[in-house]
Amino acid sequence: MDNKYTVGQYLVDRLLELKLEHLFSIAGDYSIDWVNNYVEPSHIQVIEEVNELNAGYAADGYARLRGIGALCVTYSAGALSAVNAIAGAYVEKVPVVLINGTPSIQRTLTFEQTGFSSHHFISGRETDLQVFEYITTAAVRIDSPDLAPMLIDYALTQCITEMRPVYIELLEDIVDLECDRPAKALKAARIFSNPQSLRQSIDQINERLENAAKPLIWIGVEIDRFGLREKAEDLLRQLKIPYVTELLSKAVLSEDDALFAGVFDGQSSAASVQELVTDSDFILALGVWLTDINALGWPTDFEHTAFVSLDTVKYGAYFSAQVSLADLIDGLLEKGVTRGTRYFSRPPVPEAPEGNLANPITYQGFYDFIPEFIGKDTIVGSDASMNYFGSLLLKVPTPRSFISQSSYSAIGYIGPAATGVCLAKESHQRVMIFAGDGGFQMTAQCLSTQTRFELNPIIFVIDNGIYGVEQWLADTAAFRGTKPFYKSCLLHRWNYSKLADVFGCQGWKVHTYGELKDAVLGALSNSNSPSIIQVVVPATSIPDNATWKKS
């Protein structure tokens, strides 16, 4: 019996240990032996993607639900196409493993010493590694079988500790060489708090919670990324005060919860949420990241808001470093402070329009219409577009059932991310995503992968013929009809529904609410392929909660 244990097997076993079940991959000669000889025979299913950018976005979407995602590409020509996806995962703390099949030591030395180049080379062994060092929490080059176990373990441990992407350069001639077997199970490294800083921060925040007349909790994305949902729920039950989320952390906890007041993203929030925030004399922001997307025209009140995130506490002039979010929540739970429930009014759930189903669809009308089709088994996703505004106010009842990349905000993310979400979700769940037409043009090949693997996301492409969010950010006058749209924001019009014929899935083009209803019902009954619904709206039509911006 052959007891040979190799570097290629070591990497597969460690990924399996971390519960990875799917690997997104693009065929490349420097990586193909590892994929064919080690991944394919394992319990990891290879998902053959159409390009590296889509593979990266799919791995990102997968990791948001599963806690780990991975893609395998080939050197430079492949890896550098995935840079934008890995950068987004780095910004948003998503644990993605990028495995880059790399030319052999012999090829590398020949190129460096003689100038004889192998395909994909740019400037030798450092090019890809140096690029990814800036956008990963660990970047390693596996060019020795003796060092391979240590380097792989280091990278993967960093991935699950920092919840950020890592880069593993796997040389083609190292894969089949023998190495030691795993010695012990991987586990995330401990996050240490400075005892004095932690104690002072707990006392400071506890005192404010006890003395505040109208406190509020602001739940941020770190609650999800670091697996703190149960601790956060325990604290909310103990405090008995309302909480809000942000677009990046929407539906981290159930939006059916009695204490949930709504999503707070500046002036795009519901009026009742804005009133609640304005009226609060102390806001405890747990794991919230400050971005222009969750400010949206709202001046942050640093004097009355304590931000606990990025291992620091910031409250007015008070600043304390090396304070773990988990440790601080534990400390507040131990203090045992309780409050009476503060009265607040929740934003009303909009009802479907009762007007004529023959009426043309508007952007806001679409978001008034769609909530009746979103239930407890629906995972909702939104792309960087005017859909951010409409989806912000949708009710998503089940925890961890909303996906957006609203901090990095790469247009085109959500279509291929839905591929990963479909593979990571529970079998009873259905994925429904909202894309702008400009963003969808960037990554439309996601339909190919989804059709190939019989995945069934429902993809709404809001077709207004423009890069709406870019125009909105630059100058909103065009939406009021007082100025023309910037030429750079005008799109070449596609017949998106006809892409279903190209890729072998199902598609609809809708102009009225009656057509929209028929299309949604048809998509819900389609279980074996993606459904693309092209929703035609006027170029000047935007969601109501985006109209506050006047310039």
Structural domains of the chain sorted by starting position, each given as residue range(s) with its CATH number in brackets: 7-171 (3.40.50.970), 195-335 (3.40.50.1220), 363-546 (3.40.50.970)
Distance CA 474, CA 314 (A): 32
Better pLDDT: 117 or 286:
286
Distance CA 228, CA 230 (A): 6
b/e sequence 198-211, b meaning 16+ C-beta within 10 Å: beebbebbbebbee
Mean per-residue pLDDT of the chain: 95
Average pLDDT over residues 146-175: 97
Give pLDDT, residue 1: 38
pLDDT band at 124 (very low <50, low <70, confident <90, very high): confident
Give pLDDT, residue 354: 65
- Helix (H), strand (E), coil (C) string for 44-61: CEEEECCCHHHHHHHHHH
CA distances from 454 to 1, 487, 505, 539, 543 (A): 39, 38, 9, 33, 33
Residue whose entry in the numeric block shows the structure tokens 């492409």: 461
pLDDT digits (tens, 9 = 90+) for 487-541: 999 999 999 999 999 999 999 999 999 999 999 999 999 999 999 999 999 999 9
Give pLDDT, residue 483: 95
To the nearest 5 percent, what fractions of the chain are helix, strand and coil? 40, 20, 40
Q: Are strands 318-321 and 312-315 parallel, antiparallel or unpaired?
A: antiparallel
pLDDT digits (tens, 9 = 90+) for 323-365: 999 999 999 999 988 877 777 777 666 666 567 899 999 999 9
Largest CA distance in the chain: 78
Task: Name the nearest CA neighbour of 399 among 363, 426, 423.
Answer: 426
Q: Judge contact between 526 and 532, C-beta under 8 A.
A: no
CA distances from 453 to 48, 51, 427 (A): 9, 16, 14
Give pLDDT, residue 126: 84
Q: Judge contact between 2 and 75, C-beta under 8 A.
A: no
Q: Judge contact between 268 and 296, C-beta under 8 A.
A: yes
Task: Name the nearest CA neighbour of 156 among 311, 22, 13, 42.
Answer: 13
Answer yes or no: is 257 a known binding residue. no
Q: Judge contact between 218 and 242, C-beta under 8 A.
A: no
pLDDT at 383 exceeding the cut of 60? yes
Residue whose entry in the numeric block shows the structure tokens 């199970």: 185
- Its pTM surpasses 0.85: yes
Sheet holding 430-436, edge to edge: 402-404, 378-382, 430-436, 458-463, 531-536, 506-510
Answer yes or no: is 437 a known binding residue. yes
Average pLDDT over residues 286-314: 93
Please tell me whether residue 540 adopts helix, strand or coil conformation: coil
pLDDT digits (tens, 9 = 90+) for 458-473: 999 999 999 999 999 9
pLDDT digits (tens, 9 = 90+) for 44-99: 999 999 999 999 999 999 999 999 999 999 999 999 999 999 999 999 999 999 99
Residue whose entry in the numeric block shows the structure tokens 């790469």: 410
pLDDT digits (tens, 9 = 90+) for 202-233: 999 999 999 999 999 999 999 999 999 999 99
Residue whose entry in the numeric block shows the structure tokens 């149960």: 230
Q: Judge contact between 159 and 93, C-beta under 8 A.
A: no
Q: How far is CA 265 from the centre of its chain?
A: 17
Please provide residue 525's backbone torsions phi and psi, each rounded to the nearest 5 degrees. -85, -5
pLDDT digits (tens, 9 = 90+) for 419-441: 999 999 999 999 999 999 999 99
Distance CA 250, CA 30 (A): 40
Q: Judge contact between 439 and 495, C-beta under 8 A.
A: no
Long-range contacts of 269-274 (CB under 8 A, 24+ apart): 269/392, 269/545, 270/347, 270/393, 270/545, 271/347, 272/344, 272/345, 272/346, 272/347, 273/244, 273/347, 274/298
Average pLDDT over residues 24-32: 95
CA dihedral 271, 273, 275, 279 (to 10 degrees): 180
Distance CA 355, CA 544 (A): 18
b/e sequence 142-162, b meaning 16+ C-beta within 10 Å: bbebebbbebbbebbbbbbbb
Give pLDDT, residue 351: 64
Q: H/E element holding 320?
A: strand 318-321
Q: Judge contact between 540 and 478, C-beta under 8 A.
A: yes
Q: Judge contact between 459 and 433, C-beta under 8 A.
A: yes
Task: Name the nearest CA neighbour of 44 among 66, 12, 71.
Answer: 12
